[in-house]
Structure 1
Amino acid sequence: MCLAIPAEVVAITEDRQTATVSLEGVRKDVSLALLSEVTEGDFVLVHVGYALNRISPEEARRTLALMAELEAASS
């Protein structure tokens, strides 16, 4: 099973090859090799260091809320 996590793009390198994303304050550099157009403020699905696709802010919030519910239920 693969899991992609929504994260917000907070910075993009000048060569547009990588971006810094943030999820609850945790920042990570990810590859943009699979996406053609991404801007700061976009939400992307991240899996093993790659931004897979853009998603709406609403979809990102829904997904993160569901993940939080699952975490709470398993505790």
Structure 2
Amino acid sequence: MCLGVPAEVIAIPDAAVPRARVAISGVQRTVATDLLADEDIEPGDWVLVHVGFALSRIDADEAAITLDQIKRLGSGTFETELDAFRTSAIG
């Protein structure tokens, strides 16, 4: 199963390149922000990440609720998504 998972933006390595460094439960990776070109994404923002792309900006409350709901799905769903997040990469 692939879900859109909330991640906190921790850095924008190069403002000229549509990428952001994000973290989910301490796991960091770089995601594409091409789909949010009209948004002013900055560290501290929350984004919904799916298959290496930040799909939308969400607020911290929505992020917390969504993460809680994913964890409640059971059957290791959150851990599976976190493992996929940990092992994937985007250039």
The TM-score by the shorter chain falls in which range?
0.7 to 0.9
Alpha-carbon separation, structure 1, partners of 2:43 and 2:9: 5
2:48 pairs with 1:41: no
Deviations 1:1-60 (A, max 9, x none): 752110000000222410010000000100110102211100000011110000010000
More strand by share: 1
Runs of 4+ with >3 A deviation:
none
Q: Gaps spanning 5+ residues in structure 1: where?
A: none
Alpha-carbon separation, structure 2, partners of 1:54 and 1:16: 18
Q: Gaps spanning 5+ residues in structure 2: where?
A: 77-91
Identical pairs, percent? 47
Q: Number of matched residues? A: 73
Structure-2 residue corresponding to 1:22: 23
Code of the residue aligned with 1:11 in structure 2: it is A
Q: TM-score, normalised by structure 2?
A: 0.73
Structure-1 residue corresponding to 2:62: 59
